[in-house]
A = this chain, B = another copy of it.
Amino acid sequence: MATKPSIPKGTRDFSPVEMAKRNYIFNTIREVYHLYGFQQIETPSMEMLSTLMGKYGEEGDKLLFKIQNSGDYFSGLTDEELLSRNAIKLASKFCEKGLRYDLTVPFARYVVMHRDEITFPFKRYQIQPVWRADRPQKGRYREFYQCDADVVGSDSLLNEVELMQIIDTVFTRFGIRVCIKINNRKILSGIAEIIGEADKIVDITVAIDKLDKIGLDNVNAELKEKGISNEAIGKLQPIILLSGNNEEKLSTLKEVLVNSETGLKGVEESEFILSTLRNLGLKNEMELDLTLARGLNYYTGAIFEVKALDVQIGSITGGGRYDNLTGVFGMSGVSGVGISFGADRIFDVLNQLDLYPKEAVNSTQLLFINFGEKEAAFSLEILLQVRAAGIRAEIFPDAGKMKKQMGYANSKAIPFVALVGENEMHEGKVTLKNMETGEQKLVSPKELISELS
User: Contact residues of A with B, CB < 8 Å?
Assistant: 1-8, 11-16, 19-20, 22-23, 34-37, 39-48, 50-51, 62, 65-68, 70-74, 79, 82-83, 85, 87, 91, 94-97, 99, 109-110, 112-114, 117, 119, 121, 123-124, 129, 131, 133, 143, 151, 154-156, 158-159, 161-162, 165, 169, 276, 279-281, 327-330, 363-364, 367, 370, 376-377, 380-381, 384, 387, 390-398, 407-408, 411-412
- A370 cross-chain contacts in B, Cβ below 8 A: 158
Q: Contacting A34 at CB < 8 Å: which of B36, B74, B112, B392? A: B392
CB A345 to nearest CB in B, in angstroms, measures 18
- A1 cross-chain contacts in B, Cβ below 8 A: 328
Q: Contacting A44 at CB < 8 Å: which of B11, B34, B161? A: B11
Please list 11 pairs of residues, one from A and one from B, whose beta carbons are closer than 8 Å in the complex, sorted by A's number.
Answer: A3-B50, A5-B112, A5-B329, A6-B48, A8-B96, A11-B44, A13-B43, A13-B44, A35-B390, A45-B129, A158-B370
CB A27 to nearest CB in B, in angstroms, measures 10
Contact A71 B87 (CB under 8 A): yes
- A276 cross-chain contacts in B, Cβ below 8 A: 377, 380
Q: Contacting A8 at CB < 8 Å: which of B23, B46, B327, B393? A: B46
CB A415 to nearest CB in B, in angstroms, measures 13
CB A52 to nearest CB in B, in angstroms, measures 10
User: What is the CA–CA distance of A330 and B34 in the complex, to the nearest angstrom?
Assistant: 46
Q: Contacting A394 at CB < 8 Å: which of B16, B37, B114? A: B37
Given contacts A3-B329, A110-B13, A119 and B408 within 8 Å (CB-CB):
yes
- For chain A, what secondary structure do more than half of its interface residues adopt (helix, strand, loop), or is it mixed? mixed
- A123 cross-chain contacts in B, Cβ below 8 A: 394
User: What is the CA–CA distance of A377 and B43 in the complex, to the nearest angstrom?
Assistant: 35
User: What is the CA–CA distance of A397 and B119 in the complex, to the nearest angstrom?
Assistant: 13
- A395 cross-chain contacts in B, Cβ below 8 A: 158, 162
CB A125 to nearest CB in B, in angstroms, measures 9
Contact B82 A119 (CB under 8 A): no
Query: How many copies of this chain does one complex carry?
Result: 2
User: What is the CA–CA distance of A276 and B376 in the complex, to the nearest angstrom?
Assistant: 10
User: What is the CA–CA distance of A390 and B327 in the complex, to the nearest angstrom?
Assistant: 37
User: What is the CA–CA distance of A200 and B126 in the complex, to the nearest angstrom?
Assistant: 50
Given contacts A1-B328, A119-B408, A39 and B16 within 8 Å (CB-CB):
yes
Q: Contacting A73 at CB < 8 Å: which of B5, B50, B87, B380? A: B87
Contact B279 A381 (CB under 8 A): yes
User: What is the CA–CA distance of A330 and B20 in the complex, to the nearest angstrom?
Assistant: 29
Given contacts A392-B34, A395-B158, A5 and B44 within 8 Å (CB-CB):
no
CB A255 to nearest CB in B, in angstroms, measures 25
Measured CB to CB, the nearest residue on chain B to A412 is: B119
Q: Contacting A109 at CB < 8 Å: which of B5, B72, B85, B112? A: B5
Contact A14 B2 (CB under 8 A): no
- A94 cross-chain contacts in B, Cβ below 8 A: 68, 94
User: What is the CA–CA distance of A131 and B79 in the complex, to the nearest angstrom?
Assistant: 32
Contact A117 B6 (CB under 8 A): no
Contact A8 B83 (CB under 8 A): no
- A411 cross-chain contacts in B, Cβ below 8 A: 119
Contact B91 A68 (CB under 8 A): yes
Measured CB to CB, the nearest residue on chain B to A363 is: B39
- A4 cross-chain contacts in B, Cβ below 8 A: 329-330
Contact B46 A19 (CB under 8 A): no
Measured CB to CB, the nearest residue on chain B to A399 is: B156
